[in-house]
Structure formats: structure tokens, C-alpha cells
Structure 1
Amino acid sequence: MAKTNPGRFFEDYKLGQVIAHAVPRTLSGGERALYHALYPARHALYSSDDFARACGLPAAPLDDMIAFHTVFGKTVPDVSLNAVANLGYAEGRFLMPVYPGDTLRSESEVIGLKQNSNGKSGVVYVRTRGLNQRAEVVLEYMRWVMVRKRDPEAAAPDTVIPALADVVDPGDLMIPPGLDFSGYDFTLAGEPHRWGDYEPGETIDHVDGVTIEEAEHMIATRLWQNTAKVHFDATFRPDGQRLIYGGHVISMARALSFNGLANAQMIVGLNGGAHANPCFSGDTVKAWSEVLDKAETDAPGVGAIRLRLVAVKGDAEPFALKGTDGKYSPDVLLDLDYWALMPR
């Protein structure tokens, strides 16, 4: 009797199925140190306990994307071990900060299924929640994944495509209790630009770039306990290349956005996202942002800003996103729409 886990294939998913993912993880300062070593992350709220306390928090939380990657990584053996590609995200909300010592686990519900016309794969839609040791939901998001079929002759399920909101309503964004930017120290944060200095339609070239290294991306992907075969096994793809984990590109682009958006401190909403083209070792990642919207909050000195973060290959023209055919430029790696909190 086989004891190894081959992963789920498309025909193994059922609408309404709830999957409790294995291996809860207690996070520590070690994850922060490795995260800041892998990415040029410099946002002050996540770097300094003193800065965070001056902003009304008990200490510096772990970077939002540490929580995201940890929760996401738990889902891979059950959701995307046999994935062809991770296609997109929607309705993501970061509901409370995660601190060293917190233990995170994940659970997912299948909310949609659609077999592809080739009959060899299908798209699985899931709603994932990350919970801490007190069973409090720290973040939730939807994602959809293209997954191989085990048997191409297996009957197709009824097609169900969930209706997903284009944008998380600003009123549904969760502001951490006590957060107060009224005495925010712009000198320590690294830039003087506040919420009122940004306008919808404004674009920002983040200037800097980082060349992706094979070893670093595999360290990062192992750090989040992501076991997807396409990231490690060079025989799994016809071209013999290991696909860079999309979350690695997200964190790299988010860190690069510090130059121009140093005060976009906390990610609180994930409106949508697409991994537009694959990223491979040797690609140089650069980033640009577009301001999409702004919203006031009830927290003292705190505003919400909606940003489009685009990661591109290094020689791409800034601010070029799609061609006249409506398809992404081949140089675009990531198109991410998110809400962040910024001092007003």
C-alpha cells in the first residue's frame, strides 16, 4: 500500500470541500531575518520595535508577506502540488498583525471548478484562511489554480465560477487596534511622502532591480514549506527550467517599491493579482506602481491607499502593461492590486 502523497488532481476536488492543511508553524525572528536577507525589505514598521511602538503597536509585527507565504505554503501539498500555474488572487484581507511566537495554520474551501477545453486540466478556485494559535483568522484570500487531471477521460464536473469582488471595500479593511500615525517619524521611515502627496493616476518607477538567483529562490520557497514540483524539479517542465515561485516575485517587487512608497507600511487588502508571465533564474526584476485610489480611515493619522504593483523583467519599458490586444506584455511578471496603510 502506497504511503506517499502524489497530491490531488483536478478530479479529486469537490465543490464545498473543506481541506485542513497539515503542519502548523510557529514563527520567530528567524523568519524575519531570512526574509530581510532574501529581499531588500526596509519598511520601518517591520524593522524596529521602537518605531512600531511609537505607532501604537506592541512591537514590530512580522512582514505581512511572511504571514501570506506561510499560510500559502501550507496549502500547496493539497491545492497546487500538481498545478500547471497559479492564476490569480482576489478578496484578500489581512485581518490582524502576526508577531514572533504566533503559530499559523491554514484551511481552504473549494468554491469553484471549471475543466479546461483540452480535457487535460482544470481550474480550481479556493478560499483560504490562515488562523493563529487562538483560532483567530489573521488573513484570508481567494485564489485559482490550473491543476492537471490524473485521467484525461474522467468526467468533467459541473462548471461553477465564483463571483469575486473586483476590489475589497475600504470599509472592510481591518486596521490593527491601537495603530496611530499621528506622531509618525518620517525621518526614521526614510521618505517624507505622506498619503496626501499621492493622487490616483500617478505612476512611480521604483528604479532599482534585483537579478533572481536559483539558489535564493529555492531557499525562499523551502522557507515557506512550498513543495510545488515546478519550483524544484527541473524534469517537471518540458523546457527543463525551474519556475520561480510567484510569491518570491511578489515579495521582491514589494521590497523594491520602498523607493517611492516607503510609507506604505502595512498591506491590509489584496484586491486582485495575476502572475502574467513566468519568471526564471537570471531574470532581473524591477517594479513600478500606479496609485489607483485612496480612502480615509477612522484610525488617527492613518489613510488607506490602493496601489497597482507591477513587476517586470529588467529591460522592460516602465509603465507598459498590456498590448493593443489586451494581453500582458511578455516582460510583465506580476500585476498586483492591493490596499496599504499610510500616514496622512
Structure 2
Amino acid sequence: MSKTDPGRFFEDYRLGEVIRHAVPRTVGQGERALYHALYPARGALHSSDTFAQSCGLPVAPLDDLIAFHTVFGKTVPDISLNAVANLGYAEGRFLAPVWPGDTLTSDSEVIGLKQNSSGKTGVVWVRTTGRNQQGRPVLSYVRWVMVRKRDPEAPAPEPVVPDLAESVTPDHLTVPEGLRFDGYDFDRAGEPHRLGDYAPGEIIDHVDAVTVEEAEHMMATRLWQNTARVHFDATHREDGRRLIYGGHVISLARALSFNGLANAQMIVGLNGGAHANPCFAGDTVRAWSEVLDCAETNVPGVGALRLRLVAAKDGPGDYALKDDKGKYLPHILLDLDLWVLMPV
């Protein structure tokens, strides 16, 4: 009997099953330093204990996407090792800060299954929850992936497609305990813009760009213990190229958004998202954001801004996303809908 694991295929999933993912991960200042080395991340709240303390927190929490990548990485061996594509996200909520020294675990519940018409693949929907060492949820999100079948002749399960919310409503956003912006230092944060300075429909071009390097994306994928073969094995794809982990593009876009959104200090909601086209080493990533909504929270002085964060490689200079048939334009890499917290 083989002791190695080839990963799950579509017919291995059962509706309602809960998968307890292996290898808890303790995260700390090392992850913060590496994250800031890999991406041009410089949000003040995640960079400085004294700035975080002036905002009511005990120390600087780890960057929100460190939590996301760590929780996501735990799921890969069970959910997407044999995936063809990661198709989307929904109902993402950041429920508590992750502090240096926290230990994270991940569990996923299978909430949907649907075989594709080809009979060679199927779509699996899972709701993943990341918890800290006290068992407290720190992050929850739904994602769906297209997974290969081991046997194309295996019978298809009864299709179940979950009914997912279009967005996380502002009243379901979690503001970290103690967070306040009444003494917010705009000079140290880097920009003067408050929530009221943004308006729905506004587009912010983040101006800067980063060229993706093979070594950096490989380091990032290892850092998050993401074992998907398409990111490591150059023989896994017919074109002989390693696919850039989608989370690497998310973090690049989020870091680039500092220029124009320096006061968007914390991600608290992930309404939806798509990795529109593959990214490869050598691509130069640019980003822009469209303001979708502004909302108050239950904490005075703390507002929520809903953004469409877009990452693109070199292409037309406009902000178009899709063609007249509704298909993403070939230079669009990422289309992400999220909520962030900023001073009112």
C-alpha cells in the first residue's frame, strides 16, 4: 500500500463533509518581515507597534493577507492539489486579528458539488474557517475550484450549487476589539484622505508597478506552504511555465494600493473575486481600485470602504475589465471585491 498521497479528485468529495487540514502553523515576526520583503507593503497599522497602539490595539497585528495565505495554504493538499483552476471567492470575513505568536489551523466544509459537462472535471465549493490556538475563528470564506476527476466514467453526484450572498453587508463586518481612529496620525500613515474623501464610482490608479520574479513567487508559495503542483513543477503544464500563485498577485495589488489608499488599514470583508487570467514570471503587475460603496460601522470614527481591486499586466491604458461578450480581457489578472476599514 502506498504511503504517499496523490491528492483528492472530484469524486472523492462528499457534500457536508468537514476536512480537518494538516499541519498547524505558528506565525510571527518572521512572517511579517518576509511578507514586507516580498511585497511593497507599508500599511502603518501592520508596520508599527506604536502606530497600532495609538489606534487602540496592543501591538501591530500581522498583515491580514498573512492570515489569509496561511489559512489558504493549509487547504491546498486537500482542496486544490488536483485543481485545474481556482474559480472564485465569496462571503469572506476577517473575524479577529492575528497576532505574532498565534497558531493557525484550517477546516473546510464541502457545501457544493457539480460535475462539468465534459465529465472530466467538476466544481467543488468549500467554506474554510481559520482558527487560532484558542479555537477562535479569525477568518472564514467560501471558494470554489475546478478539480480533475480520477475516472471520467465515475458517476456524477447530484448537483448542489450553494446560494451565496452577493456581498458581506456592513453590519456583518467585524471591527477588531479596541480599534479606534480618534487619535489617528495621518502624517505617519502617509496620506490625509478619510472615508468621506472617497465616492462610489471613483477610480484610483495606484500608479506604481512590480515585475514578478520567479524567485520571489517561489519563495512566497513555499512560505505559505502551498503545495499546488502548478506553482512548483515546470513539467506540470504543457507550456513548461510555473503558474504564479493567485495569492501572490492579491498581495502585490493590495501593497500597490497604498498609493491612494494608505489609510485603508485593515481588510475585513471579501465579497467576491476572480483570478481572471494566469500570471507568469516576467509579467509586470499594475493595480487600480474602483470605489463601490462607503459605510459606517458600529464603532464611532471607524468607517468601511468597499473596493474593487484590480490587478493587470501591461495592456490598454483604460480601466475596462471585460469584452462585449462578458469575458475578462487578456491582460486582467485579478478582480477582487473587498471591504477595508479607514478613518471617518
TM-score > 0.5, shorter chain as reference: yes
Runs of 4+ residues deviating >3 angstroms: none
Residues 1:163 and 2:163 are matched in the alignment = yes
Question: Structure 1: which 5+ residue stretches go unaligned?
Answer: none
Match status 1:93 vs 2:93: yes
Describe how 1:168-207 pairs up with structure 2 within 5 A: 168-207=168-207
Q: Find the counterpart in structure 1 of residue 51 from structure 2.
A: 51
Q: How big is each residue's C-alpha offset from its partner over 1:63-93, in whole Å with a ceiling of 9 and x where there is no partner?
A: 0000000000000000000011101000000
In the alignment, does 2:73 pair up with 1:73? yes
Provide the C-alpha distance between the structure 1 equivalents of 2:101 and 2:257, rounded to a whole number of angstroms: 28
Q: Distance in 1 between matches of 2:81 and 2:240?
A: 18
AA aligned to 1:108 is S
RMSD, aligned CA: 0.6
Give SS of 1:241's match.
coil
Q: Does the residue aligned with 1:322 lie in a helix, a strand or coil?
A: coil
Q: Match of 1:133?
A: 133
Quick one: distance in 1 between partners of 2:30 and 2:122? 38
Deviation at 1:235, TM superposition (A): 1.0
- Equivalent position of 1:18 in the other structure: 18
After TM superposition, give the deviation of residue 298 of structure 1 in Å.
2.1
Runs of 5+ unmatched residues, structure 2: none
Q: Aligned residue for 1:153? A: 153
Q: What letter is aligned with 2:112?
A: G
1:149 maps to a residue whose letter is K
Conserved? CA contact 1:179–1:300, under 8 Å: no
Equivalent-residue separation in structure 1 for 2:211 and 2:32 (angstroms): 21
Q: Between the two proteins, what is the percent identity of the paired residues? A: 76
How far apart are 1:301 and its partner, in Å? 1.2
Give the count of matched residue pairs. Answer: 344
Q: What is the SS of the residue equivalent to 1:4?
A: coil
Partner of 2:114: 114
- Residue in structure 2 matched with residue 336 of structure 1 by the alignment: 336
The secondary structure found in structure 2 opposite 1:33 is helix
Q: Secondary structure at the match of 1:218?
A: helix
Corresponding letter in the other structure for 1:118: S
Deviations 1:282-310 (A, max 9, x none): 11000000000011112131100000000
Tell me the CA shift for residue 318 of structure 1.
3.6
Aligned partner of 1:229: which letter? R
Q: d(CA) in 1 for partners of 2:73 and 2:318?
A: 31
TM-score by length of 1: 0.99
Whole-angstrom distance in 2 between the partners of 1:147 and 1:266: 32
Q: Which residue of structure 2 lines up, in the alignment, with residue 254 of structure 1? A: 254
Return the alpha-carbon distance in structure 2 between the equivalents of residues 168 and 18 of structure 1. 23
Shift of 1:272: 0.2
Give, in whole Å, the separation in 1 of the partners of 2:230 and 2:318. 29
Number of the residue aligned with 2:284 = 284
SS at match of 1:222: helix
1:41 maps to what in 2? 41
Partner Cα distance (1:91, 1:324) in 2: 28
| C-alpha deviation, 1:114, in angstroms | 0.7
SS at match of 1:59: coil
- Residue 141 of structure 1 aligns to a residue in which SS? strand
